Structure 1
Amino acid sequence: MSVQPTERPATLPTALLGALTLGTAAALSWIAYSRFFINHHYPLPSALEAERRTFVSPTAGLLSYYRALPRDSNSHRPLVLIHSVNAAASAYEMRPIFEHYRGTRPIYALDLPGFGFSERSDRRYTPQLFSAAIADLLRTQIRTDQPVDIVALSLGCEFAAQVALDLPERVHALALISPTGLAGRRANSIQQAQRRGASEWLYRTFSFPLWSQALYDLLATRASIRFFLKQSFEGAPDEGLIAYAYATSHRRGARYAPLHFISGKLFSADILERVYLRLRVPTLAIYDQDAFTRFDALPSLLAQNACWRAVQIAPTRGLPHFERMAEVAQALDEFWA
C-alpha cells in the first residue's frame, strides 16, 4: 500500500502575497481619496492680526510678511520673527512673541518660501533660498538705519544664522529658540539624510507624482498634526496652532517645501562649523527638551564662541513661547538690554 505525499500549502508566500495585495489596494485607495475628496483649496486666514504685505524677491519669488508698527516706530529697533520649517509650518508659530511685543517696537514676521501666503511653486527648496528670503526682507522691506533683532525657531534658526553671518551690519542680535544643528552625532534620521547623501533619492521617492500629494496628505491629517505637535508641548498643544497648521497644509502647492524638509534637504550638515562657530553678533539659544532635535554640541559651542549664551527654560519641549512666554520674554529682554 503506497502512501501519497501530502501537498502542503505555501502558507508563507500566500500570506505575503495577500498582505502585499491589501497594502497595494489600501495605498491606491488613499491616493484616489487624496486626489478626489481632500480639499486642497482650504480657506486660509491671516496667521497674525496685523497688516500683511508682499514683495518680490529676485531669488525667492513672491514673499509675504506681517507687520505691526508702533506710533514712534523710527525710535525703536525692529524685531524680525522667523518660523520653523516642517510639514505644516507658518508664521502662527511665532504668534505669542508677536503679540507680546506688539506696540512696543516694529515687528515683522515672514512667511518663508513655500509656506503661508508666500510663493508655493514646484521648485527646488534649499537652505540658500530660505536665507535669501530673509536677507531680502531685511534689505528691501525694513527701512531703518538700525540693525534688527531676529528671533527664529527650530530649523529657521539655521537660515537666520546664515543671514547674520553674511550681513552682520544688518543684524544687531540673534535669538534662536530650539535651534537645529546642535545635535552632533546624535542627529535624527531626517537631519542625517543630507550628511549621508540620502536626501536626493529620498526626495525623488517622496515627490514621485503618483503619490506625492497623497503622502503629504497623510502627514497633514488633523490626527497627524496633533500627534506631532503634542510632542512639542509639555501640556496640551495649542488648539489655534493645530487649526492653522491644518488650514495652511491644505492649500495648493502646500506639499512642495515640506517634501524637501522630510527628505533632509533643508538641513545643513556643516551649520555648526561653517556658521554657528563663526557668528560675531550676540546670539542667544533658548532651549530645553525637544523631541525632534538635541543640543549636545551647545556646551562646546558656548566655550568656543564668546558671542553665544544660552538659557534653559524648563520644562518645555520645543515651543517654550507657547507655554512659558513670560520666561521667554524675560530671557529676551535681558539679552537685548
Structure 2
Amino acid sequence: MDALPVLPPALPGERLSFDGLNCYCAGNGPPMLLIHSINAAASAAEMRPLYERYAATHTVYAIDLPGYGFSPREDRVYSPRLMTDALHTAARHIRALSGGAKVDGLAVSLGCEYLARAAAERPDDWRTVALVSPTGLNGRTPRRGEPCSTRAVPGLYAALSQPLWANWLFRQLTRPGVIRYFLERTWGGRNIDETMWAYDVLTTRQPGARFAPLYFLSGGLFSADIHTVYEAIPHPVWVSHGVRGDFTNYTGMYMVTGGGNWTVTVFQTGAMPYFEVPEAFGAAFDAFLKSPAAAK
C-alpha cells in the first residue's frame, strides 16, 4: 500500500488548538475569523488571500472546521450543530486572546450558515458578519424548519457510507481531475487557483477524509431553518457573490434582508471573488468593516 502524502500547513503563521480544533493565526490588531466552505476537499486553504491580506491590519484566524484540515476527522455525526459549536469554541478562545474584543467573522458558501447561526445564538461574540456566496438563498421556497433541522435526504447517508464502497466512492469523487472540475464550476471557468487545487488533492488523501464529506453529500450539513437563522442575525451583514459558476442564484435573498442590516456587493467573478479580484474585494470589505453601522 502506498504511503499517504504528508499534509503541510495550509497557511503560514502560528497553529493554535482550540479544544482540539486547528486554527491558523497571524498578524496583530482586531480579531477576525475566516471560515471555509464545506465540500469534499475543504480546508482553511480556501481562505489564503484574505488571511494574508488581513494579517497586515488584524489578528486574523482561519479555522479548519471539524472533519477537515488538521482538525479531528472522526467517524461521527457531522451536522450544522457540530459546526456552529466549533465556531462558538473558536470565538470564545479568540476573545480570550484578544482581551474580550468582539470578532469580525467572514465565511464562504455553506460555512456562512454556521457563522450566521453562531452570530444569532451568541451575538456578543461578534462585531460584524460577512457572507461570501452564502448557501440557502436560492429559490423562493422558505426554509423555516425546526431549529437545527437539516436537509438530509432520508437513507442517503446510510447508502453512501456502506463500508463495502464508501472509501471507493470518496476516492472517485476526489480524483485530481474531479476536484479540478468542481473548482472550475466554482470559479465559473478554467482559471482556478492552482495552489488551492494542489492542497485540495493532498487533504483528501488523509485518514478520515471521507467522513464529513459524506454527510455533506447526503444533505446533512445544510440547515432546513436557514431563513429563520439569517433573519435573526442582529449585526451588520455584508453579502458578496459573483455572477459565474454554480453559486449565482440568490432569488431568495429578499426573504431575509428586511431588517435593513444587510448590504450586498456583486462581483463579476465566480464564487470566490477574493481570489479573482482581491483589491476590489478588499476595498469593499474594508469599507464595510469601517462603516458607521459596524462601529456601533
**TM-score in terms of structure 2 length:** 0.90
Q: Secondary structure at the match of 1:200?
A: coil
Q: Secondary structure at the match of 2:284?
A: helix
Within the candidate set 246, 250, 254, 1:295 is matched to 250
What is the CA-CA distance between 1:331 and the residue it aligns to? 1.1
- How far apart, CA to CA, are the structure 2 residues paired with 1:250 and 1:160? 27
Tell me what 1:226 maps to: 180
Q: Does structure 1 retain, via aligned residues, the 8 Å contact 2:34–2:61?
A: yes
1:63 aligns with 2:21: yes
1:284 aligns with 2:238: yes
Shift in CA distance, 119/293, structure 1 to aligned 2, threshold 3 Å: farther
- The one-letter amino acid of 1:136's match is T
Tell me what 1:161 maps to: 116
- How far apart, CA to CA, are the structure 1 residues paired with 2:224 and 2:138? 11
- How far apart, CA to CA, are the structure 1 residues paired with 2:169 and 2:5? 18
- How far apart, CA to CA, are the structure 2 residues paired with 1:152 and 1:185? 23
1:50 aligns with 2:13: yes
- How far apart, CA to CA, are the structure 2 residues paired with 1:293 and 1:310? 13
Q: Does structure 1 retain, via aligned residues, the 8 Å contact 2:27–2:54?
A: no
Tell me what 1:331 maps to: 284
Which aligned pairs between 1:95-114 and structure 2 lie closer than 5 A?
95-114=48-67
Deviates more, 1:228-237 or 1:143-152: 228-237
1:80 aligns with 2:33: yes
Tell me what 2:166 maps to: 212
Tell me what 1:12 maps to: none
Q: CA RMSD in A?
A: 1.8
What is the CA-CA distance between 1:297 and the residue it aligns to? 1.2
Within the candidate set 241, 244, 254, 2:199 is matched to 244
Q: Structure 1: any 5+ residue segments left out of the alignment?
A: 1-35, 57-61, 71-75, 188-193
Within the candidate set 60, 75, 89, 2:42 is matched to 89
Q: Does structure 2 retain, via aligned residues, the 8 Å contact 1:200–1:265?
A: no
What is the CA-CA distance between 1:55 and the residue it aligns to? 3.0
1:171 aligns with 2:126: yes
Q: Structure 2: any 5+ residue segments left out of the alignment?
A: 143-149, 291-296
- How far apart, CA to CA, are the structure 2 residues paired with 1:125 and 1:293? 26
- The one-letter amino acid of 1:248's match is T
- How far apart, CA to CA, are the structure 2 residues paired with 1:260 and 1:328? 31
1:149 aligns with 2:112: no
Q: Deviations over 1:95-136 (max 9, x none)?
A: 000011113110000000000000001000000000000110
- The one-letter amino acid of 2:159's match is T
Moved over 4 A (4+): none
What is the CA-CA distance between 1:64 and the residue it aligns to? 0.5
Q: Secondary structure at the match of 2:286?
A: helix
- The one-letter amino acid of 2:73's match is R
> How many residue pairs were aligned?
280
- The one-letter amino acid of 1:257's match is A
Q: Does structure 2 retain, via aligned residues, the 8 Å contact 1:114–1:120?
A: yes
State which structure, 1 or 2, has the greater radius of gyration over its C-alpha atoms. Answer: 1
Q: Deviations over 1:265-292 (max 9, x none)?
A: 00012201x2111211000000123404
- How far apart, CA to CA, are the structure 1 residues paired with 2:163 and 2:141? 33
What is the CA-CA distance between 1:54 and the residue it aligns to? 1.3
- The one-letter amino acid of 1:44's match is L
Within the candidate set 201, 209, 226, 2:155 is matched to 201
- How far apart, CA to CA, are the structure 2 residues paired with 1:292 and 1:87? 17
Q: Does structure 1 retain, via aligned residues, the 8 Å contact 2:95–2:101?
A: no
Q: Secondary structure at the match of 1:99?
A: helix
Which aligned pairs between 1:31-50 and structure 2 lie closer than 5 A?
41-50=4-13
- How far apart, CA to CA, are the structure 2 residues paired with 1:142 and 1:117? 22
- How far apart, CA to CA, are the structure 2 residues paired with 1:300 and 1:257? 30
Q: Does structure 2 retain, via aligned residues, the 8 Å contact 1:150–1:174?
A: yes
Q: Deviations over 1:52-71 (max 9, x none)?
A: 11132xxxxx210000132x
Tell me what 1:267 maps to: 222
Q: Does structure 1 retain, via aligned residues, the 8 Å contact 2:41–2:203?
A: yes
- How far apart, CA to CA, are the structure 2 residues paired with 1:150 and 1:140? 14
Tell me what 1:312 maps to: 266
What is the CA-CA distance between 1:167 and the residue it aligns to? 1.1
Deviates more, 1:178-187 or 1:215-224: 178-187
- The one-letter amino acid of 1:67's match is C
